[in-house]
Amino acid sequence: MKKKKRSWAEPYKIKTVELIEMKDLKEREEAIVEAGFNTFLLKSKDVYIDLLTDSGTSAMSDLQWAAMMRGDESYAGSKNFYELEDTVKKFYGYKHLVPTHQGRGAENIMSQILIKKGDFIPGNMYFTTTRLHQEMAGGQFIDVIVDEAHDPENTFPFKGNVDIEKMQELVDRVGADRVPYISLEGNVNMAGGQPFSIANLKELHAFCKKHNILIMLDATRTVENAYFIKIQEKGYEDKSIEEILLEICSYTDGCTISAKKDCLVNIGGFFACNDDEIYRRAQNLVVIYEGLHTYGGLAGRDMAAMAQGIRESVMFEHQQARVGQVKYLGEQIRDYGVPIVEPVGSHAIFLNAGKILSHLDQDEYPAQTLSAELYIENGIRSMERGNVSAGRDPGTGQNRRPKLELIRLTIPRRVYTQAHMDVVAESVAAVYERRKNIKGLEMTYEPEYLRFFQSRFKRKK
C-alpha cells in the first residue's frame, strides 16, 4: 500500500486564466540576441514561464479586484488611504504611513531624510536599489550579514542574521554618530531569500538602542520571514504569522516596503515609521517625488487592493502554499544534481551559476550567461544575481565580483502550478547537462545606474 501522507494544496481555486505560448527554438535564439542576452530586455510575449521576478507579478484575489472597484480617486484624503493606514498599523504596527509608487520611492525618501554625507549604512547584505539610494544620499553601504550568507552551500537556517560583531567593529571604526541606521531586510533577497531570527533581531535591537542607531526594516518579504520563524524558530511554533510580524516590527523604528511582493499587488510601496519628526519630513518630501502624502503615486484603487493583500498575506495557508511551491521546485532541481543555494528560501530558487559554469571567469558573466541559456532552452525567464547586478566599485571602477554568482528563478505568488515547476526543473537539468559547451558573454553596453536592467551583451567567440 502507498505510504500515507498529508499534502498541502493552494488555498484558492482558479477563476480566470491567461494563455501562454512557447516560441520555437529559432525564435527564442533570435529573441535573446535581440535582447542583448539580457532577460530584462525580452518581450514577455516571447517568454513561456516567467520567473524573472516575484515583484508585481502576483495574481490578485477576487476580493482584491472587488476592492479596486471601491477605489476613491479623490486627489486628497482618499478613504482608501485611511483604510491602508489602519491596515498597516494593525499588521505592521507603525504609527505613520507615507504611500509611494513602489519600494524604491520609499527608499529615496528615507535615504534623503536619514543619511548625511559621509555616513555608513550597515545592512544584512545589499539590495541593488537600496544601496544606490544610500550612495546617492552620500552614504556608504557596509555588509554586516553573517558569513554563512555568502556561502551558497551552508545550510544555516537563519542566513539573514546580522553579525553583531561586525556591527561593533563598524561602530568602533567610524563612531556610532556616523551610523544613522541599519537597513535590515526580511528574507534577504540577494542571499537567496534567507530569514533572520527573532533571537538575532532582539540582540540587534539591544545593540542599536545602546548606540542610538535606528533599525529600519526593508519589509518587502517580511511576512515570508515571519512564516520561516514560525516553522523553524524555537518558541514560535504556536504563534500566528500576524503575531510574529507585529513582534518583528516592534523591534524596529520604521520600514520601507515594495508592496509588489508580500502584499500581493501589482504596484505600490510605502514608508512607515513611529517618529513624528521623521514622518513630517517624509510627508513633505513625498510631494516632490511621488504625489500628495495621501496617495504617494498610487491610485485609490491600488491602496484598496494593497490593504486587502496585506490581510491575505498573513494567512498561514497562503504562506504554506507559497513557500511550499518554492521548496517543491528546489527539491526537483536538487534531485537532478544541480547546485542551488541552500537552504531553499521563500521566493526563489537560486542556481549556483559560478559553480555550474566554473570554466568561465567571473568577468565573462557566468550568471548572465546561464540565464540566457535557460531562456534558449525552453523559454524560461530568470534573473541574473551576480557580477552584473553587483555593479562596479565606485572607488576602483572595477567589477565588484561578488562571492555569490547566481541566477534566480523567482516564483510569482498564486500564478503557476506544480506542472509548470516540473517543466522548469527539467529545463534546468537539460542546460546543466550541456554546461561544458556553454561560452561566456562580453558586455557591449553598460548604463550608468543599476546596469543589470539595461546592459547588453554578446557571446564570446
Q: Does 220 bind ligand PM9 (CB under 6 A)?
A: yes
CB 457 within 8 A of CB 140: no
Residue 135 burial (CB count, 10 A): 16
- Quick one: how far is CA 88 from the chain centroid? 20
Interior CA angle at 203 toward 198 and 205, to 5°?
90
Non-local CB neighbours of 162 within 8 Å, separated by 6+ positions = 122, 124, 144, 145, 146, 182, 184, 196, 200, 204
Residue 365 CB, shortest distance to ligand PM9, in Å, is: 17
Residue found under cell 526594516: 217
| Helix (H/G/I), strand (E/B), else coil: 442 | strand
Nearer to ligand PM9, 183 or 432 (CB): 183
Q: Is 127 a catalytic residue?
A: yes
The whole-angstrom separation of Cα 259 and Cα 266 is 8
Nearer to ligand PM9, 162 or 171 (CB): 162
In the sheet with 96-100, reading across from the earlier edge strand, the strands are 96-100, 269-273, 254-258, 214-218, 181-185, 120-123, 140-143
The whole-angstrom separation of Cα 364 and Cα 291 is 42
Q: Does 38 bind ligand PM9 (CB under 6 A)?
A: no
Residue found under cell 508592496: 259
Site string for ligand PM9, 231-270 (x = CB under 6 A): ---------------------------x-x--------x-
Which of these ranges, 98-106, 138-146, 169-177, 374-382, lies near ligand PM9 under the rule CB under 6 A? Answer: 98-106
Q: Is 218 a catalytic residue?
A: yes
Nearer to ligand PM9, 258 or 294 (CB): 258
Residue 238 CB, shortest distance to ligand PM9, in Å, is: 29
Residue 292: which H helix or E strand, with range? none
Catalytic residue among 75, 336, 445, 449: 75
Residue choice 61, 183, 189, 362 for contact with ligand PM9 (CB under 6 A) = 189
Report 382-441 residues binding ligand PM9 (CB under 6 A).
Answer: none
Residue choice 50, 83, 119, 185 for contact with ligand PM9 (CB under 6 A) = 185
Catalytic residue among 50, 218, 262, 302: 218
- Any idea what DSSP says for residue 59? P
Q: Is 385 a catalytic residue?
A: yes
Nearer to ligand PM9, 189 or 194 (CB): 189
Catalytic residue among 53, 100, 128, 252: 128
Q: Does 55 bind ligand PM9 (CB under 6 A)?
A: yes
Alpha helices in 121-188 (DSSP H): 128-136, 164-174
Residues in the chain: 461
Residue 261 CB, shortest distance to ligand PM9, in Å, is: 6
Residue 221 CB, shortest distance to ligand PM9, in Å, is: 6
Of 134, 115, 135, 126, the closest CA to residue 177 belongs to 115
CB 346 within 8 A of CB 326: yes
Residue 460 CA neighbour count, 13 Å, CB half? 15
Q: Does 50 bind ligand PM9 (CB under 6 A)?
A: no
Q: Does 152 bind ligand PM9 (CB under 6 A)?
A: no
Q: Is 75 a catalytic residue?
A: yes
- Nearest residue to ligand PM9 by CB is 103
Residue choice 48, 81, 120, 127 for contact with ligand PM9 (CB under 6 A) = 127
CB 130 within 8 A of CB 183: yes
Which residues are registered as beta bridge partners of 384? Answer: 407
Nearer to ligand PM9, 318 or 451 (CB): 451
Residue 449 burial (CB count, 10 A): 12
Q: Does 308 bind ligand PM9 (CB under 6 A)?
A: no
Residue 68: φ, ψ to 5°:
-60, -30
Q: Is 128 a catalytic residue?
A: yes
Nearer to ligand PM9, 132 or 370 (CB): 132
Q: Does 451 bind ligand PM9 (CB under 6 A)?
A: no
Q: How many residues bind ligand PM9 (CB under 6 A)?
A: 16
* Residue 116 grid cell: 548625511
Site string for ligand PM9, 99-118 (x = CB under 6 A): ---xxx--------------
Active-site residues, by number, are 75, 127-128, 218, 261, 385, 452
- Using CB under 6 A as the criterion, which residues of the chain lie in contact with ligand PM9 when the complex forms? 53, 55, 102-104, 127-130, 185, 189, 218, 220, 258, 260, 269
